[in-house]
Amino acid sequence: MDEPTFKDEVEQEPINVPRAALRFAKAVAYPNLDVQLYMDLLEGLAEWSRSRLSKVHDVRKRALNLADFLFKQLEIQGNTRDYNDPRNSYLNEVLNRRLGIPISLAVIYVTVAQHLDLPAYGIGLPGHFLISIQTPDGDLYIDPFHSGEPLSIEDCMRLVERTTGHQGPLQEEWLQPVSEVAILTRMLNNLRQIYMRAQAWDMALRVIEHLRILQPDMPELLRDLGIIHHNSGSLRLALEFYEQYLRLRPNAADADQVKHHLENAAARLARLN
């Protein structure tokens, strides 16, 4: 029997986020990755945590103790030295290196917490990803990138301001749990941006192929496919994707730039003919 693919995983209900993340890691960058090995590792972390938390029954204390165990004792940390290292977005590498970015660290925490019946969820703040735990006394917010520190609403507001420059009030919807699809989309988008900036066209293409499974109507992916095929010499494909993007987003902020790319690709193709 063939091994399940990323597409197979995201068609499940509910989606198993860590397993789906490992599937795209295997397909994009690590063909020999043993998905079950890392799923067993996450389960082992949960069992190890359960034994340490067996005498702690208060939800808030359990959540904070788990954060202390994962992020301080085991030193699964935010990669402050090289935030844009693509390995920070591949769950196997995060577990191997104990280094990640907020969203990949949050996936580990939430996965372990749910094994322990803790009501933990991902929170997609603009510019930063947090963990939320629903407690009898209200929601507890934890920052996985900064050693699992608890955050107040005011802390969350300052975090958004620091990471995005947003000066207005904190939007209530920013603190709502995000879906499994939204988490996987954000992880893949991080990789898309890294590889596009690095002009790693083959890697960017693989990432975008997976993103289109989740977000088939996202116009920015058409633009990026145009750029990838343009730079890879597939000029007819580049023209098709540029034209599709401009039809969907004729007034986009980068429309003039994309038109310039389109004209350049068309001129190159004409010279070849």
Q: Which domains does the chain have, with CATH numbers?
A: 6-175 (3.10.620), 180-192+200-272 (1.25.40.10)
Query: Per-residue pLDDT averaged across 78-103, rounded?
Result: 97
Of 103, 91, 97, 99, nearest to 42 by C-alpha is 91
pLDDT band, very low/low/confident/very high, at 166 (cuts 50, 70, 90): confident
pTM of the model: 0.95
pLDDT in tens, 197-242: 999 999 999 999 999 999 999 999 999 999 999 999 999 999 999 9
pLDDT band, very low/low/confident/very high, at 168 (cuts 50, 70, 90): confident
Residue 99 has pLDDT above 70, yes or no: yes
What is the rounded (10 degree) CA torsion for 40, 84, 113, 147? 120
Residue 273 has pLDDT above 90, yes or no: no
Cα angle: 148, vertex 142, 87; to 5 degrees: 60
Residue 1 has pLDDT above 70, yes or no: no
Angle between helices 219-231 and 201-214 (to 10 degrees): 160
Query: Per-residue pLDDT averaged across 126-136, rounded?
Result: 94
Query: Per-residue pLDDT averaged across 23-41, rounded?
Result: 98
User: What is the pLDDT at residue 262?
Assistant: 96
Report d(CA 202, CA 223) in Å as an integer: 16
Query: Per-residue pLDDT averaged across 152-174, rounded?
Result: 89
Q: Which long-range contacts (CB under 8 A, 24 or more apart) does 262-268 make?
A: 262/226, 262/238, 264/230, 265/226, 265/230, 265/235, 265/238, 265/239, 266/235, 266/239, 268/235
